[in-house]
Each structure stands twice: as C-alpha cells, then as structure tokens.
Amino acid sequence: MRELICICCPLGCHITVDDSDLNNLKVTGNSCLRGDKYAREEVTCPKRTVTSICKVAGGEIPVVPCKTKDTVEKGLIFDVLKEISKVTLKAPVHIGDVVIKNVLNTGVDVVATKNIDIKR
Amino acid sequence: MLHHRLVIIGGGPAGLAAAHGAYEEGERDILILEREEHLGGILNQCIHNGFGLHTFKEELTGPEYASRFIDLVKKDNIPYKLNTTVIDVNKDKIITAVNQEDGLLLIKADAIILACGCRERPRGAINIAGARCAGIYSAGTAQKLVNIDGLKVGKEVVILGSGDIGLIMARRMTFEGAKVKAVCELMPYSSGLNRNIVQCLNDFDIPLYFSHTVIKINGKDRVESVVVAKVDEKLNPILDTAFEIKCDTLLLSVGLLPENELARTCGVELSRVTNGAIVDESMMTSMDGIFECGNVLHVHDLVDYVSEESTNAGKSAVRYLNKSISSRDQVLEVKTSNGVRYSVPQLIKKDTDYTPIQFKMRVSNVFKNVEVALFVDGEKVAKKIKQIVTPGEMETLLVKEDIVKKIKSGQNVELTLVKRG
C-alpha cells in the first residue's frame, strides 16, 4: 500500500495505491483520470516537469525561464538542469523556442516560456 | 485632465482579465495603469508550472499564463501605461499617477477597478530578534532576483513559513545548487498547497518542521545561523527546544497583505479579515463605481480563480457604466460561522440579477469530512462535501438561479461548515 498526494492539480487528492501486485495496481481516492495516471507512474516510474532559467545574451533581462515540454524521470532532474546551464540563447527569445532538443535522449524538448526582447 | 470611462489600476493577472472582460462586455474606452516595466505582474517571476488547469485545461508556467492574457489585451487594442505608479484615487474618481514620460497625470474615470495585488509581509511584521545582516529576503524578492535578474541568492538556506512561495523557492534554490536545510512553519499545518509540499520538499528530502519558528538570527555582515524553536499551543517558543542551524540565507514566506492604500485613501470600506474591500456579488466596493478583484481583494491560491473573478469585475464595471446594474440600496450580509473565516462576496444585493453566484471562502483550521454549506433562514440550500478543508486552500461554492432566488427572498444568509458522519 502506498499513500500518495496527487500533484496533478491543486486539489491534492489523497490517493491510495495497492501495489501488492505490480502488474495489477489498484488506485483509489483520485477524482480524475489524471490522478489515476499519476499514481500508477509515481509507483512505477515517477516523472516531473522541470522548470528553470537559461542564460540569454543581449536580452532585456539576462535570463529566460524554460521548462521540459513533457515530464521527465524524476531521477534525471539534476542532469537536465546541468544541460540547461550549459546553454546561452541569443535575444530575442519567444515562448516555445527550443532551448534543448531531445534533452538527454528523453524524447522531450526544453522550451522557453517567456518572450525576451532585445536590450534597447 | 484626461478622461476614461474605465481605468484599471494594475496590469497583473487581475487587471488583464478585468480589462478583457470589460472589452468583451462591449466597453472600448479602457486604460490600464501598471507600475512595473512589463504587463503580467507577479506571474512573470513564477516560472514553475501548474497555472491554467481550470482556465486553459493545460498546465502552463506563470509567464506563459500571463502571455495568454497579455495577447488578449493587445488583440483588443486596450491601451496601457507601464512604469506608471498611481499615488492617489479620490472620491470623485480622479486618479493621480506619475511616470517618467508624462510626469504627473490626472485622469478622471467613470469607473475604476482596483487590481493592485499583494505585498509580502516583511521581517518587521513578525518581529524576529537578532542581527540585521545581509542574507534575509522575503521569498518573493529572492524569486525575482533568481528568476528575472539571474542572480544567486545564497548557498545554505533556511525558509520560515510554508506558504506556496516559500515551498516553490525551496525547490528553486535547490535547483540553483543551494542546500535548503529546513522549512519552519509556525502553525501545525502548512498554508501552502499539498502538491507543493510533495513536489518541492518531499522530492528533495527537505525537512519541514511544523510548529517551529525562527527566534533569532545570528551574523554580522551576512547571516551565519538561525536559532529555531518549537512553539506551544499559544504559538509561544519553547526555549528548551531551541537549536541552531548554520546558514547564509533566510527566506521569509510569512503571508501576503493586499495592497489597499489607494482603496483606503478614497474611503473604500475594508474587511478586517481579508484586508481587502467589502464587495457585493458584482465585485463593487462601498464606493459607487469602484470595483476590486484579484489578490488586492483577498489572497487567492490559484490564478485561475483570480482571472475568473476579475473577468466578472470587468463585466460588472461595464454594466455599471451602462447603468444596467441593480441598485445597492438593499443588501444582505453573508455571515460566516463554525470554521468559515470569511466569504467573498460579503454582500448580496437584494435585487441581484447575477446567476450563478460563486462564494469563495477560507477556513480557520484543518477540518476533515465536512460539508461546506449555505443556509438561508436556517434552511440548508446548498452544500459541497469535502474530505478535507485546510486554511491553505480556498473553498468555493457555486449557487445557481433557484438558490439565488432563495437568497434574495431570505433574511439570514450564512456560510458554515457542517461535520459529517
């Protein structure tokens, strides 16, 4: 039995996963399908969206926020952050611009989440 | 003197949604005044995700959520002035503002929406003893320094307060290579969202001390350590339990205060509980034609609710301008009891034509297995069953036309918690 608090949305449902049989997980306490998916993943292979900042050259501010476009394995968070810290983008930057394509072969892109103009 | 039919003070999530709401209702003479260099308000520094699930059915970061509304306002061609600080609003709805381009601005408005947001409670508000050295930040200030200015704030961090900004910053500082040694919370529960405790603290094994507070800050030029102690039921520190934590940074996440200086100076009646205006279901304050929405009205934990409430305020302001809003001659007070601390709106107009009406409220403690219930003259007319309610999460109750009818014909309207089972 694993007690989880769902992180899919701010409701924070208290979910119970019966993991006595890993091939047949029983999820209760969730109020939506996303919660069911989260609970199954959290028990088998926990994943997170990583948000951080990336350096920008010549921009109105020195950094642009970015995120992994999908979730990546929890264990990879700090490796992803390290990859992001190696990049310097050139202004202007637009929301959705790819910061790193297919980061660490996860199949997930890191993208910019803010528009940054050129420094006036 | 300039003249605009509707002036919105604040270009954050509340002001933007109010402006778009007013535009959708048909108003074309709108002006937004924003103190900062960019529209979007505090969302610009909230780079984490989790915004917009209700509004856009997808998970966005703060800047992305803001940009959705900025795009709407730009598409509507609604004018805005940046770097413009409003210094006064008077009873005649004359706004005094300053900026570097125009100098002093006097604007006569027919309706005003106050969407000025919140400020963080500072160290001075909680009286921590000890040194006044460098390394003590409010969590939001640290967030701006890291996420917008690209600066490093500290290496070894203690956070006081488990509000959402504090929790988010615990993870953010960890991502920036800092070691977050502890989060201390005065109360026996967190005022932040559950999901933030899970994904910001538990994920990184950051200890959370409930019923603990910082009683002393040590350091000369820079913070060197803080002394933490457990508190008793009356929230007084138990000195025998004190222990020292070495750190170079203390972040304070000890609450937000609605920024109501403008409302106060022009005579808007404020609530002692929310520190925001007392409003009716149209979001109008005690001053005719002055509306309030977003965090200046009461502190929200979801920006989605801010957008919804502010859209309503924007539409209402237009109805006021077009003289199609019901009169406020007779109002019913929405009373709260038994664990419900406050309700927004606090008042319902007797001849309201608003349906549905959404009540937003906060509770005073953690309660399990309860009904959030609305009583009219002793009869339970609406309820919502909750496994758990906590002070950190705003509760809502949406009532439809038939129940609004009952409210209008009633005398005594009360929001309360009813224990189940």
Residue B188: how many other CB atoms lie within 10 Å: 12
pLDDT category at A49 given cuts 50, 70, 90 is very high
**Amino acid letter for position B415:** L
Residue B111 corresponds to which tokens in the numbers above? 């309706």
pLDDT category at B352 given cuts 50, 70, 90 is confident
Q: B195, A95: Cβ pair inside 8 Å? A: no
Give the pLDDT confidence of B285-343 residue by residue, as tens digits: 999 999 999 999 999 988 999 999 999 999 999 999 998 887 777 899 999 999 999 99
User: Parallel, antiparallel, or unpaired for β B179-185 and B208-210?
Assistant: parallel
What per-residue confidence (pLDDT) applies to B421?
A: 76
Instruction: Give the 3-state secondary structure of B252-292.
Output: ECCCEEECCHHHHHCCCCECCCCCCECCCCCCECCCCCEEE
If you count them, how many residues does chain B have? 421
What's the first-to-final CA gap in chain B, in angstroms?
A: 63
Q: Which domains does chain A have, with CATH numbers?
A: 2-44 (no CATH), 51-112 (3.10.530.10)
What is the DSSP secondary-structure string of A12-74? Answer: --EEEEE-SSTTS-EEES-SSHHHHHHHHHHHHS-EE--EEEEEEESBSSSEEEEEESS-EEG
Residue A86 corresponds to which tokens in the numbers above? 């190696």
Percent residues over pLDDT 70 in chain B = 100
Residues 6+ apart with CB under 8 A from A31: A11, A13
Q: Is the dihedral of CA B177, B181, B186, B189 positive or negative?
A: positive
- pLDDT greater than 90 at residue B184: yes
Residues 6+ apart with CB under 8 A from B353: B326
Instruction: Return d(Cα B182, Cα B170) in angstroms, integer.
Output: 9
Give the pLDDT confidence of B29-57 residue by residue, as tens digits: 999 999 999 999 999 999 999 899 888 88
Chain B, residues 354-373, CB within 8 A of chain A, namely none
Q: Does B67 touch chain A (CB under 8 A)?
A: yes
pLDDT category at A11 given cuts 50, 70, 90 is low
C-alpha closest to that of B154 among B143, B164, B167: B143
Residue B104 corresponds to which tokens in the numbers above? 């002093």
C-alpha closest to that of B313 among B290, B342, B329: B290
Closest partner residue to B63 (CB to CB) among A8, A52, A65 is: A65
What per-residue confidence (pLDDT) applies to A10?
A: 58
Residue B356: asked if its preceding bond is cis (omega within 30°), the reply is: yes
Give the pLDDT confidence of B365-420 residue by residue, as tens digits: 888 889 999 999 999 999 999 878 888 889 999 999 899 999 988 899 999 999 98
Residue B345: asked if its preceding bond is cis (omega within 30°), the reply is: yes
Closest partner residue to B47 (CB to CB) among A6, A53, A77 is: A53
> Strand ranges (DSSP E) for B247-401?
249-252, 256-258, 290-292, 331-336, 340-344, 347-349, 357-363, 367-376, 379-389, 395-399
A-B contacts (CB, under 8 Å): 76
B204 φ, ψ (degrees, to nearest 5): -115, 15
β-partners of residue B216 are B129, B227
Q: B47, A51: Cβ pair inside 8 Å? A: yes
**Is the separation of the CB atoms in A87 and A69 below 8 Å?**
no
What per-residue confidence (pLDDT) applies to B393?
A: 84
Q: Does B388 touch chain A (CB under 8 A)?
A: yes
C-alpha closest to that of B313 among B110, B96, B16: B16
What per-residue confidence (pLDDT) applies to A9?
A: 65
User: Can you tell me the ipTM of this complex?
Assistant: 0.88
Q: A55, B150: Cβ pair inside 8 Å? A: yes
Instruction: Return d(Cα B137, Cα B115) in angstroms, integer.
Output: 25
Q: A5, B393: Cβ pair inside 8 Å? A: no
Percent residues over pLDDT 90 in chain A = 68
Residue A82 corresponds to which tokens in the numbers above? 């390290």
**Is the separation of the CB atoms in B31 and B79 below 8 Å?**
yes
